[in-house]
Structure 1
Amino acid sequence: MGPTEGRGRSGSGSGSGSRSPLIRRPDGWPPTPPNVHTEAELACLITMLTEARSPDRPPIRSVAVGHGRDDASRAAARAFVEAWQPAHGAVLAVVDWPEDAASWLRQARRLTAGAPDAWVVAGAARGWGQLSRRLLHSTDWRPDRTFAFASIGDAAAVGPAVADILDGLRGASADGGGWCLAGGLITRHEPSGRPGLNRADLG
Protein backbone atom coordinates (compact mmCIF):
# COMPACT_ATOMS: atom_id res chain seq x y z
CA MET A 1 0.00 0.00 0.00
CA GLY A 2 2.97 2.30 -0.17
CA PRO A 3 3.95 3.27 3.40
CA THR A 4 6.31 1.04 5.28
CA GLU A 5 5.59 -0.31 8.70
CA GLY A 6 7.17 1.83 11.39
CA ARG A 7 9.44 0.44 14.06
CA GLY A 8 8.56 0.53 17.70
CA ARG A 9 9.44 3.66 19.60
CA SER A 10 10.79 3.86 23.08
CA GLY A 11 8.51 5.57 25.52
CA SER A 12 6.67 5.37 28.80
CA GLY A 13 4.42 2.59 27.60
CA SER A 14 7.00 0.37 25.93
CA GLY A 15 8.32 -1.09 29.14
CA SER A 16 4.94 -2.21 30.46
CA GLY A 17 4.52 -5.19 28.20
CA SER A 18 5.63 -7.74 30.81
CA ARG A 19 2.21 -7.92 32.51
CA SER A 20 -0.26 -9.04 29.91
CA PRO A 21 -3.47 -6.98 29.53
CA LEU A 22 -4.95 -9.51 27.14
CA ILE A 23 -8.22 -11.34 27.60
CA ARG A 24 -7.47 -14.95 28.45
CA ARG A 25 -10.59 -16.50 26.99
CA PRO A 26 -11.75 -14.53 23.94
CA ASP A 27 -13.82 -17.43 22.63
CA GLY A 28 -17.03 -15.41 22.86
CA TRP A 29 -16.03 -13.24 19.92
CA PRO A 30 -17.48 -14.55 16.67
CA PRO A 31 -15.00 -15.83 14.05
CA THR A 32 -17.05 -14.28 11.22
CA PRO A 33 -14.91 -11.91 9.13
CA PRO A 34 -16.11 -8.34 8.53
CA ASN A 35 -18.33 -7.39 5.60
CA VAL A 36 -16.83 -5.60 2.63
CA HIS A 37 -16.80 -1.85 3.21
CA THR A 38 -19.06 0.47 1.21
CA GLU A 39 -18.25 3.66 -0.67
CA ALA A 40 -20.57 5.57 1.67
CA GLU A 41 -18.69 4.18 4.65
CA LEU A 42 -15.32 5.26 3.24
CA ALA A 43 -16.60 8.72 2.35
CA CYS A 44 -17.98 9.21 5.87
CA LEU A 45 -14.69 8.16 7.40
CA ILE A 46 -12.72 10.64 5.28
CA THR A 47 -15.15 13.40 6.25
CA MET A 48 -14.86 12.57 9.94
CA LEU A 49 -11.10 12.81 9.79
CA THR A 50 -10.99 16.05 7.83
CA GLU A 51 -13.54 17.69 10.15
CA ALA A 52 -12.04 16.43 13.41
CA ARG A 53 -10.63 19.72 14.62
CA SER A 54 -11.14 22.05 17.56
CA PRO A 55 -9.21 24.85 19.31
CA ASP A 56 -7.14 22.30 21.21
CA ARG A 57 -6.81 19.84 18.33
CA PRO A 58 -4.97 20.77 15.14
CA PRO A 59 -6.17 19.36 11.80
CA ILE A 60 -5.33 15.72 11.16
CA ARG A 61 -2.58 15.39 8.57
CA SER A 62 -0.77 12.15 9.35
CA VAL A 63 -2.40 8.81 10.11
CA ALA A 64 -1.39 5.24 10.79
CA VAL A 65 -3.63 2.52 9.38
CA GLY A 66 -4.18 -0.84 11.03
CA HIS A 67 -6.20 -3.80 9.76
CA GLY A 68 -6.94 -7.44 10.27
CA ARG A 69 -5.62 -10.01 7.80
CA ASP A 70 -8.97 -10.99 6.29
CA ASP A 71 -9.69 -9.89 2.73
CA ALA A 72 -12.38 -7.34 3.63
CA SER A 73 -10.17 -5.56 6.17
CA ARG A 74 -7.22 -5.49 3.78
CA ALA A 75 -9.42 -4.00 1.08
CA ALA A 76 -10.82 -1.38 3.45
CA ALA A 77 -7.35 -0.29 4.53
CA ARG A 78 -6.13 -0.14 0.93
CA ALA A 79 -9.12 1.95 -0.12
CA PHE A 80 -8.57 4.38 2.73
CA VAL A 81 -4.89 4.85 1.93
CA GLU A 82 -5.71 5.57 -1.71
CA ALA A 83 -8.40 8.07 -0.72
CA TRP A 84 -6.39 9.81 1.99
CA GLN A 85 -3.07 10.54 0.34
CA PRO A 86 -1.91 12.78 -1.11
CA ALA A 87 -5.13 14.83 -1.09
CA HIS A 88 -5.61 14.97 2.68
CA GLY A 89 -2.27 14.08 4.24
CA ALA A 90 0.26 11.31 4.77
CA VAL A 91 -0.03 7.69 5.86
CA LEU A 92 2.90 6.97 8.17
CA ALA A 93 2.38 3.24 8.48
CA VAL A 94 0.14 0.39 7.41
CA VAL A 95 0.17 -2.46 9.92
CA ASP A 96 -1.76 -5.72 9.84
CA TRP A 97 -2.54 -7.87 12.85
CA PRO A 98 -3.52 -11.53 13.35
CA GLU A 99 -6.62 -12.76 15.10
CA ASP A 100 -4.46 -14.80 17.47
CA ALA A 101 -1.00 -13.90 18.74
CA ALA A 102 1.23 -14.22 21.77
CA SER A 103 1.01 -10.55 22.76
CA TRP A 104 0.20 -8.19 19.82
CA LEU A 105 3.00 -5.97 21.19
CA ARG A 106 4.93 -5.79 17.91
CA GLN A 107 1.84 -4.63 16.00
CA ALA A 108 0.95 -2.11 18.71
CA ARG A 109 4.40 -0.54 18.62
CA ARG A 110 4.39 -0.31 14.84
CA LEU A 111 1.03 1.42 14.85
CA THR A 112 2.18 4.07 17.30
CA ALA A 113 5.66 4.65 15.88
CA GLY A 114 6.06 8.10 14.37
CA ALA A 115 3.37 9.71 16.56
CA PRO A 116 0.59 10.02 13.94
CA ASP A 117 -2.15 12.60 14.40
CA ALA A 118 -4.77 9.82 14.26
CA TRP A 119 -5.33 6.14 13.62
CA VAL A 120 -7.67 4.38 11.19
CA VAL A 121 -8.59 0.74 11.83
CA ALA A 122 -10.55 -2.09 10.23
CA GLY A 123 -10.83 -5.64 11.45
CA ALA A 124 -12.75 -8.44 13.09
CA ALA A 125 -13.74 -8.63 16.74
CA ARG A 126 -11.21 -11.08 18.11
CA GLY A 127 -8.00 -9.50 16.87
CA TRP A 128 -9.13 -5.91 17.44
CA GLY A 129 -10.32 -6.62 20.98
CA GLN A 130 -6.91 -7.97 21.96
CA LEU A 131 -4.89 -5.39 20.04
CA SER A 132 -6.82 -2.45 21.52
CA ARG A 133 -6.03 -3.64 25.04
CA ARG A 134 -2.37 -4.01 24.13
CA LEU A 135 -2.32 -0.53 22.60
CA LEU A 136 -3.73 1.02 25.77
CA HIS A 137 -1.46 -0.93 28.06
CA SER A 138 1.85 -0.61 26.24
CA THR A 139 1.79 2.51 24.03
CA ASP A 140 0.64 6.13 23.89
CA TRP A 141 -2.31 5.29 21.64
CA ARG A 142 -5.54 7.24 22.21
CA PRO A 143 -9.01 5.86 21.42
CA ASP A 144 -10.35 9.39 21.00
CA ARG A 145 -7.98 9.92 18.09
CA THR A 146 -8.98 6.70 16.38
CA PHE A 147 -11.45 6.33 13.51
CA ALA A 148 -12.80 2.98 12.42
CA PHE A 149 -14.66 1.18 9.70
CA ALA A 150 -18.07 -0.32 10.46
CA SER A 151 -16.66 -3.69 11.55
CA ILE A 152 -15.12 -2.12 14.65
CA GLY A 153 -18.41 -0.41 15.51
CA ASP A 154 -20.23 -3.71 15.72
CA ALA A 155 -21.27 -4.33 19.32
CA ALA A 156 -19.50 -7.69 19.16
CA ALA A 157 -16.22 -6.03 18.22
CA VAL A 158 -16.21 -3.65 21.19
CA GLY A 159 -18.08 -5.80 23.68
CA PRO A 160 -18.00 -5.67 27.49
CA ALA A 161 -14.36 -6.79 27.65
CA VAL A 162 -13.11 -3.64 25.93
CA ALA A 163 -15.99 -1.14 25.81
CA ASP A 164 -15.16 0.42 29.15
CA ILE A 165 -11.67 1.45 28.03
CA LEU A 166 -12.35 2.76 24.52
CA ASP A 167 -14.31 5.95 25.17
CA GLY A 168 -13.99 8.34 22.26
CA LEU A 169 -13.50 5.71 19.58
CA ARG A 170 -15.64 6.63 16.58
CA GLY A 171 -16.23 5.53 13.04
CA ALA A 172 -18.42 5.11 10.00
CA SER A 173 -21.35 2.78 9.36
CA ALA A 174 -22.00 0.92 6.14
CA ASP A 175 -24.88 3.26 5.23
CA GLY A 176 -22.70 6.34 5.53
CA GLY A 177 -23.80 7.22 9.03
CA GLY A 178 -21.51 7.40 12.02
CA TRP A 179 -21.09 6.00 15.50
CA CYS A 180 -19.22 6.88 18.70
CA LEU A 181 -18.37 4.85 21.78
CA ALA A 182 -18.82 6.45 25.20
CA GLY A 183 -19.69 5.09 28.62
CA GLY A 184 -20.17 1.55 27.37
CA LEU A 185 -22.67 2.67 24.72
CA ILE A 186 -22.44 2.98 20.97
CA THR A 187 -24.43 5.99 19.78
CA ARG A 188 -25.25 5.81 16.10
CA HIS A 189 -26.01 8.72 13.78
CA GLU A 190 -28.01 8.75 10.59
CA PRO A 191 -26.19 9.50 7.30
CA SER A 192 -27.64 13.03 7.41
CA GLY A 193 -25.75 13.67 10.65
CA ARG A 194 -28.93 13.68 12.76
CA PRO A 195 -28.43 11.67 15.99
CA GLY A 196 -30.32 8.43 15.81
CA LEU A 197 -32.09 6.53 18.57
CA ASN A 198 -30.05 3.36 18.24
CA ARG A 199 -27.91 3.12 21.37
CA ALA A 200 -26.40 -0.29 21.98
CA ASP A 201 -25.60 -1.08 25.61
CA LEU A 202 -22.31 -3.00 25.69
CA GLY A 203 -22.09 -3.45 29.43
Structure 2
Amino acid sequence: MASPPPAPHSEPELSALLYLLTAPRTRISTVVVGHSRDSASRSSAAAFGWAQMSRRLRHSTDWDPARTFGFAALGDSRVPALAGPATLQGMRGATVDGGTWAIDRGWVTQQLPARTPPLHPRGTL
Protein backbone atom coordinates (compact mmCIF):
# COMPACT_ATOMS: atom_id res chain seq x y z
CA MET A 1 0.00 0.00 0.00
CA ALA A 2 1.44 3.36 -1.02
CA SER A 3 2.08 6.02 1.57
CA PRO A 4 -0.01 9.17 1.33
CA PRO A 5 1.89 12.08 -0.15
CA PRO A 6 3.42 14.43 2.41
CA ALA A 7 1.56 17.63 3.13
CA PRO A 8 2.97 20.72 1.42
CA HIS A 9 4.88 23.15 3.61
CA SER A 10 2.61 25.80 5.13
CA GLU A 11 3.14 29.56 4.84
CA PRO A 12 3.64 29.88 8.64
CA GLU A 13 6.21 27.06 8.51
CA LEU A 14 8.12 28.71 5.65
CA SER A 15 7.98 32.11 7.37
CA ALA A 16 9.29 30.66 10.64
CA LEU A 17 12.13 28.89 8.83
CA LEU A 18 13.08 32.07 6.98
CA TYR A 19 13.02 33.94 10.27
CA LEU A 20 15.40 31.37 11.81
CA LEU A 21 17.74 31.82 8.85
CA THR A 22 17.69 35.63 8.92
CA ALA A 23 17.38 36.39 12.65
CA PRO A 24 19.86 38.85 14.19
CA ARG A 25 23.25 37.29 15.03
CA THR A 26 22.62 34.38 12.66
CA ARG A 27 25.81 33.77 10.72
CA ILE A 28 24.71 31.77 7.71
CA SER A 29 26.84 31.73 4.63
CA THR A 30 25.38 28.73 2.77
CA VAL A 31 21.91 27.24 2.49
CA VAL A 32 21.37 23.77 1.03
CA VAL A 33 17.91 22.60 0.03
CA GLY A 34 17.29 18.96 -0.80
CA HIS A 35 14.33 16.96 -2.01
CA SER A 36 13.41 13.64 -3.53
CA ARG A 37 11.31 12.80 -6.56
CA ASP A 38 8.81 10.17 -5.42
CA SER A 39 6.31 10.29 -2.55
CA ALA A 40 7.62 7.13 -0.86
CA SER A 41 11.12 8.61 -0.67
CA ARG A 42 9.87 11.97 0.53
CA SER A 43 7.83 10.51 3.36
CA SER A 44 10.51 8.10 4.60
CA ALA A 45 13.46 10.46 4.13
CA ALA A 46 12.29 12.73 6.92
CA ALA A 47 13.03 10.09 9.54
CA PHE A 48 15.07 7.11 8.37
CA GLY A 49 17.09 8.64 5.53
CA TRP A 50 17.92 11.81 7.39
CA ALA A 51 18.95 9.83 10.47
CA GLN A 52 21.41 7.79 8.41
CA MET A 53 22.81 10.77 6.55
CA SER A 54 23.16 12.85 9.71
CA ARG A 55 25.13 10.04 11.41
CA ARG A 56 27.51 9.89 8.44
CA LEU A 57 27.89 13.67 8.37
CA ARG A 58 28.48 13.88 12.11
CA HIS A 59 31.11 11.14 12.22
CA SER A 60 32.88 11.72 8.90
CA THR A 61 32.92 15.50 8.47
CA ASP A 62 32.99 18.71 10.49
CA TRP A 63 29.22 19.11 10.04
CA ASP A 64 27.56 20.77 13.02
CA PRO A 65 23.82 20.17 13.45
CA ALA A 66 23.54 23.46 15.36
CA ARG A 67 24.10 25.16 11.97
CA THR A 68 21.32 23.11 10.35
CA PHE A 69 17.66 24.08 10.02
CA GLY A 70 14.79 21.86 8.94
CA PHE A 71 11.11 21.81 8.14
CA ALA A 72 8.40 20.39 10.39
CA ALA A 73 8.86 16.76 9.32
CA LEU A 74 12.30 16.62 10.97
CA GLY A 75 10.98 17.97 14.28
CA ASP A 76 9.72 14.49 15.18
CA SER A 77 10.99 12.74 18.33
CA ARG A 78 11.69 9.61 16.29
CA VAL A 79 14.37 11.41 14.25
CA PRO A 80 16.93 11.92 17.07
CA ALA A 81 16.07 8.45 18.41
CA LEU A 82 16.97 6.94 15.01
CA ALA A 83 20.06 9.11 14.56
CA GLY A 84 21.58 8.26 17.93
CA PRO A 85 22.71 10.21 20.98
CA ALA A 86 24.09 13.69 20.29
CA THR A 87 24.03 13.26 16.49
CA LEU A 88 21.49 16.07 16.00
CA GLN A 89 22.28 18.16 19.09
CA GLY A 90 21.35 21.79 18.44
CA MET A 91 19.45 21.30 15.18
CA ARG A 92 16.47 23.64 14.82
CA GLY A 93 13.53 24.09 12.51
CA ALA A 94 10.04 25.37 11.88
CA THR A 95 6.70 23.75 12.74
CA VAL A 96 3.71 23.68 10.39
CA ASP A 97 1.95 26.41 12.41
CA GLY A 98 4.94 28.79 12.30
CA GLY A 99 6.47 27.85 15.64
CA THR A 100 9.92 26.41 16.03
CA TRP A 101 11.47 23.19 17.29
CA ALA A 102 14.93 22.34 18.61
CA ILE A 103 16.77 19.14 19.48
CA ASP A 104 18.49 19.15 22.86
CA ARG A 105 20.01 16.01 24.44
CA GLY A 106 17.81 13.77 22.29
CA TRP A 107 14.58 15.62 23.08
CA VAL A 108 12.61 17.61 20.54
CA THR A 109 11.12 20.72 22.10
CA GLN A 110 8.61 22.94 20.36
CA GLN A 111 7.90 26.62 20.83
CA LEU A 112 4.58 28.09 19.81
CA PRO A 113 4.71 31.04 17.46
CA ALA A 114 5.40 34.02 19.72
CA ARG A 115 4.78 36.48 16.94
CA THR A 116 4.27 36.39 13.24
CA PRO A 117 7.69 36.42 11.57
CA PRO A 118 8.03 38.88 8.73
CA LEU A 119 7.18 37.43 5.35
CA HIS A 120 9.94 37.65 2.79
CA PRO A 121 9.31 37.45 -0.93
CA ARG A 122 9.92 33.91 -2.13
CA GLY A 123 13.49 33.30 -3.15
CA THR A 124 15.02 36.05 -1.00
CA LEU A 125 16.58 35.97 2.41
Q: TM-score, normalised by structure 1?
A: 0.48
CA distance in structure 2 between the aligned counterparts of 1:163 and 1:52, rounded to whole angstroms: 30
Of residues 40, 52, 56, the one that matches 2:12 is 40
Q: Deviations over 1:154-203 (max 9, x none)?
A: 1222325435321100000000000100111111100116xxxxxxxxxx
Q: Deviations over 1:54-89 (max 9, x none)?
A: 6xxxx3242122334445997xxxxxxxxxxxxxxx
Alignment partner, residue 33 of structure 2? 65
Alignment partner, residue 111 of structure 1? none
The reply to whether residue 173 of structure 1 matches residue 98 of structure 2 is no
Distance 1:70 1:146, change over 3 A: farther
The reply to whether residue 184 of structure 1 matches residue 103 of structure 2 is no
CA distance in structure 2 between the aligned counterparts of 1:140 and 1:155, rounded to whole angstroms: 24
Cα-Cα RMSD? 2.7
Higher RCO (C-alpha 8 Å, min separation 6): 2
Q: For 2:78, what is the secondary structure of its paired residue?
A: coil
Gaps of 5+ in 1: 1-30, 75-98, 100-122, 194-203
Structure 1 vs Structure 2: percent identity of aligned residues?
49
Q: TM-score, normalised by structure 2?
A: 0.74
Count of equivalent residues? 112
Which residue identity is paired with 2:51?
G
Which residue identity is paired with 2:20?
M
Contact 1:45–1:149 under 8 Å retained in 2: yes
